[in-house]
Amino acid sequence: MLITLVVANQKGGVGKTTTALNLAASLSAASRKVLLVDLDSQGNSTTGIGKEKRKENNSLIDVLVKNDGLLNLVIEETRYKFDLIPASSDLISAEIELSSLKNPTAILRSKLLQVASKYDYIVIDCPPSLGMLSVSALRAASKVLIPLQCEYYSLEGLAAMNKTIKEINEATGESIEIDGILRTMYDSRIRLSREVSKELEEHFSEKLCDTVIPRNVKLAEAPSFGMPALYYEPEAKGTLAYLALAGEIINKFENNQVAI
């Protein structure tokens, strides 16, 4: 059964894209059929695996606004064994394009259902805001993953995220919740990181992913070669951490799936 894994955080630079694309690679290395959806107009997930952003015609916005099918947006990604719906620059104007539609943030989910039978996982990389696209992704999610750096403001960000999800639930009748909190760019030499990590363990033990993603330069370098880290440096600590995270997700989420 399909698991739609949404990687979200309203803050930029916390490791959403790195997590989304390396998870897509790691889950497909574990023989899962994966579609990566790049919802960020910056298109870092798209270029990070060596693809180009789509031009404005025939973009995801067109598919959401018109009656077009989603399937013809999918690039069959034979090189890294997972498929991609690339970003396009017009994602930036999603608010304007979608605002005149009825129940606009429910459309993405219904479109994704068109391709659901092809995949075990749809991994969605969200933009760094909680605008219409992120809300659409959250409404399509079976599991919500929040990457965060172990910094002072991360906990505040997490509280804000929780509040927004509550508001979305109240407005839409959904029951979205955070399913995984992922510590990214972790550096155990930094005292504040250790302290914030400890605090997360105390307050969010259930939701906190056991896997911690270390700060690892190979993860930062790989996208400039258009590769997931698994193909750039398979033995790197960061690569192994994302493989471990995929294993954790498979163990935790595949055993308690709810139909979307």
Ligand X SMILES: Nc1ncnc2c1ncn2[C@@H]1O[C@H](COP(=O)(O)OP(=O)(O)O)[C@@H](O)[C@H]1O
Residue written as tokens 């929040």? Answer: 146
Binding residue for Mg ion, selected from 4, 17, 22, 26, defined by CB under 5 A: 17
Interface mask (CB under 6 A) for ligand X, residues 35-64, using x and -? ---------x--------------------
Task: List CB contacts of 105: < 8 A, sequence separation 6 or more.
Answer: 98, 132, 135, 136, 139, 172
| CA–CA separation, 162 and 166 (whole Å) | 6
The verdict on 139 binding Mg ion (CB under 5 A) reads no
Closest CA to 106 of 26, 168, 191: 168
Do 177 and 150 meet the contact criterion of CB atoms below 8 Å apart?
no
Cα separation, 80 vs 227, in Å, equals 8
If the CB atoms of residues 2 and 60 are measured against ligand X, the closer one turns out to be 60
Residue 76 · residue 83 · CB < 8 Å: yes
15 sits near ligand X (criterion: CB under 6 A): yes
Name the minimum Å distance from CB 114 to ligand X: 26
Residue 171 interacting entry, from Mg ion, ligand X, none, C-beta within 5 to 8 Å by type: none
What are the two backbone dihedrals, phi and then psi, of residue 256, each rounded to the nearest 5 degrees? -135, 55
* Closer of 2 and 133 to ligand X (Cβ): 133
C-alpha pair distances (Å), 131 with each of 49, 58, 216: 25, 22, 30
Q: How far is the CB of 16 from ligand X (least distance, A)?
A: 3
Which one of Mg ion, ligand X, none interacts with residue 15, CB within 5 to 8 A by kind? ligand X
Nearer to ligand X, 14 or 35 (CB): 14
CB 153: neighbour CB atoms within 10 A? Answer: 12
What is the C-alpha separation between 21 and 233, in angstroms, rounded? 15
Tell me the window of 7-15, 30-38, 58-66, 243-251 that interacts with ligand X (CB under 6 A).
Answer: 7-15
**Footprint of ligand X on residues 210-229 (CB under 6 A)?**
213, 215-216, 219-220
Torsion of CA 112, 113, 117, 122, to 10 degrees: 30
**CA separation, residue 139 to residues 52, 79, 136, 213 (Å):** 27, 30, 5, 26
- Which residue in 141, 238, 246, 249 binds ligand X (CB under 6 A)? 238
> What is the DSSP-derived secondary structure letter of residue 88?
B
The encoded tokens of residue 50 equal 């060596």
Among residues 11 and 143, whose Cβ is nearest to Mg ion?
11
Could you say which of ligand X, Mg ion, none residue 238 binds, taking C-beta under 5 to 8 angstroms by partner kind? ligand X
22 near Mg ion, judged by CB under 5 A: no
The stretch near ligand X (CB under 6 A) out of 9-17, 56-64, 90-98, 225-233 is 9-17
> From the list ligand X, Mg ion, none, which binds 184 (C-beta under 5 to 8 Å, kind-based)?
ligand X
Taking CB under 5 A as the criterion, the residue among 11, 16, 53, 143 binding Mg ion is 16
Per CB under 6 A, residues contacting ligand X are 12-18, 44, 128, 184-185, 213, 215-216, 219-220, 238
Please report, as ranges, the residues that interact with Mg ion according to CB under 5 A: 16-17, 44
